[in-house]
Structure 1
Amino acid sequence: MRLSGLQREVLSLYRQCLRECRKKPQATQAHFRSFARREFEKNIQLDKRDFSVIEFFLRKGRRQMEMYASPGVKDVRQ
């Protein structure tokens, strides 16, 4: 199955989030993974043709990932 450009961007962001999780302390990596998964699952029902909404969530997700990727952030609140 071929993926659209936006679908590839979403998958890329998800993989990047998972990579960032591995940089966190071992004890909190599971928290970061479950947080990332929940954030993506919140919007799984979006219509794949709703480009403006998907682009908005991609921008929001990138900003959020950059914030949580900061070395000062050790855990995510559940």
Structure 2
Amino acid sequence: MQKQVLGLYTGFLRAARAKSAEDRQQIESLVSSELSSNAKEVDRKNFLYIEYLLHRAKKQLDQLRSPDVVGLSALNVSLSQTKHPTN
């Protein structure tokens, strides 16, 4: 799995090179921050969730390789925001 993660990371960096300098910088920053946050927050034994993240990243990489796509964006939702308010 580590090789898959590193392969995806280098794939994102290669795909970013095909974009404009501004978009490339934004893509590289986002990919790097996502990788480091997932490395810290995801339990290494949670294989099901890791497989999900790998699958999602592969889909994002395929989209990024398209010449029509100019960049990536991320939506950050904290756990405190996802809890239902008590009445």
Q: TM-score range by the shorter chain?
A: 0.7 to 0.9
Query: In 1, Cα distance between the equivalents of 2:4 and 2:72?
Result: 24
> TM-score with structure 2 length normalisation?
0.72
Cα displacement string for residues 2-25 of structure 1 (whole angstroms, at most 9, x for unaligned residues): xxxx11111111111111111111
Unaligned 5+ residue runs, structure 2? 75-87
**Percent of aligned positions with the same letter in both sequences?**
29
5 Å-filtered alignment, 1:18-29, equals 18-29=13-24
> TM-score with structure 1 length normalisation?
0.79
Query: In 2, Cα distance between the equivalents of 1:75 and 1:58?
Result: 19
Unaligned 5+ residue runs, structure 1? 1-5
Aligned to 2:29: 34
Number of residues paired by the alignment?
Answer: 73
